[in-house]
Amino acid sequence: MILPNVRASFGRAEAGVVIGILAGSDAASRELLTDRLREHGLDAILDDPRTLNAILSHEGAATTPGLVFYVLVRHAMLESGIDDRTLADYITAMLLKFGEENRAYRIDDTDQTTYFYLVDILSDMDGATGRRAFLLRAHLGNFALWLSGLFPDRIQARVRRGAPGLEYYEELGSTGYRMAADTDHAGTHGLDTVYRRCARTFPAVRVALNRISDRYLFPRTAATRWTGCCARSPTPSTRTSAVRDGKERRRDMLLRRTHARPHSLSAPGEEGGLAICPHCWEVNRRAYRLCGRCGADMTLLLQESGGLRRTAPIQSPVPVRTSRLSRVQRFIVAAFAALIALSYVAGAAGFGLSSQPTVATEE
């Protein structure tokens, strides 16, 4: 069972680490921080934006992972408009616990059954009772938040193969937290309020974890995202480099076939810069014309009316060309228009002949 107990573990040692990182060798700053700690407590210092920057830039903070993860979660949630220390404490405890070997796939430390998909948890929830039912419901929310929060690119890469998107994880995760909050075990351990807050703010918390994933856990993946379904995966494949190299070779081949000149939609536009694909929001590290993720032409505009694509983009856009029609297209349109005109003329002529009066002659 995961409890919001990370903040309660902070003591003199953690306070000394924070003050030492912020003040350094400045005795006056150390005295001011000590007075602030005495008057307002450690929470006031941890909520200071300077604390986040100082901890991330100081090697000594690595000895206190609980403190580092709490500061990351707390500030990411504040950026999302969630000012709830207890909720940040619970999310931090969940991330730390899921960082242990295979704990993310088990409902409890003592349970050996592993769940790699949300549907497996749902199937076991039907016949579960008592404490196991409570743990399954809570794990449904935790597992959905962990996957959608830290590995959103993996979920989006699986969408094009027919897998559900982030909305599916948000809905099931919120449902799991709500169902867990209604059990007696949640009330006994004081988790009912925390679970209801998780259910109510699940999308916002998920976005906050996306920021942590993009900025601190997988910064290179967030900047390039070349590895597709292997990106941000909790079980990364050893073929990541081969897949990336294969994509680059295929894209270079497409460029040579189409004689396309590298083109960028975002600065810098020169060779070696970045180009953001308007169809799937892939950040391409070179100013090519074709996107390395979805293969679409980045010079095309978007259209929300639907159509066929190689991949399923997040916002379901369809590229359409805004340039003039090709010669074949113009010929087809002109032939179709001429056919319509000829049918109209033929119909009018036939109507005119049939409407002429007949003259009777007398012998």
**pLDDT tens-digit readout, 177-187:** 999 999 999 99
Judge if 45 and 134 occupy the same domain.
no
For 151-180, b where at least 16 C-beta lie within 10 A, e where not — what string? bbbbbbbbbbeeeeebeebbebbbbbbbbb
In this structure, what is the dihedral angle of CA atoms 194, 196, 197, 201, given to the nearest 10 degrees?
A: 140
74 and 115 together in one domain: no
Q: In terms of domains, do 46 and 6 share one? A: yes
Nearest 5 degrees, angle CA 204-CA 313-CA 72?
Answer: 30
Place of tokens 């939609």: 265
- φ, ψ (nearest 5 deg) of residue 284: -85, 130
Residue bearing the bigger pLDDT, 272 or 132: 132
In whole angstroms, what is the distance from residue 76 CA to residue 94 CA? Answer: 15
Task: Choose the final residue of a domain: 223, 253, 284.
Answer: 223
In a domain, 235, yes or no: no
**Structural domain boundaries enclosing 126:** 103-223
Cβ proximity of 143 and 118 under 8 Å:
yes
Residues of the chain with pLDDT > 70, as a percent, come to 66
Q: Residue 325's pLDDT is what?
A: 67
pLDDT at 16 over 80: yes
Please say whether the beta carbons of 166 and 155 come within 8 A. yes
Asked if residue 116 is part of any domain, the answer here is yes
For 195-252, the pLDDT digits (tens) are 999 999 999 999 999 988 888 877 654 444 433 333 344 444 434 444 445 545 554 5
Query: Which pLDDT value is given to residue 232?
Result: 43
What are the tens digits of pLDDT across the range 332-344?
888 988 988 888 8
Domain count, the chain: 3
Q: How far apart are CA 357 and CA 361, in angstroms?
A: 13
213 domain residue, yes or no: yes
Name the domain boundary from 171, 193, 223.
223
Structural domain contains residue 327: no
Could you tell me the pLDDT band of residue 306, with boundaries at 50, 70 and 90?
very low
pLDDT computed for residue 135 by the predictor? 95
CA distances from 134 to 143, 188, 210, 308, 339 (A): 14, 12, 27, 43, 70
Cis before residue 49, ω within 30 degrees of 0? no
Q: How far apart are CA 285 and CA 262, in angstroms?
A: 12
Position 57 in a domain: yes
Same domain, 252 and 314: yes
Per-residue confidence at 267, pLDDT binned at 50, 70, 90?
A: very low
The answer to whether residue 349 is domain-embedded is: no
Give the pLDDT confidence of 40-85 residue by residue, as tens digits: 889 889 998 888 888 887 776 777 888 989 999 999 999 989 999 9
The answer to whether residues 217 and 252 belong to one domain is no
Reply yes or no on whether the pLDDT at 327 is more than 50: yes
Give 290 or 312, the one with higher predicted confidence: 290
Assigned domain for 192 exists: yes
- pLDDT band at residue 280 under the 50/70/90 scheme: low
pTM: 0.61
Which tops the pLDDT comparison, 278 or 111? 111
The vertex-118 CA angle with 188 and 283, nearest 5°, equals: 115
Domain-ending residue, one of 64, 98, 132? 98
Mark whether 112 and 91 lie in a shared domain: no
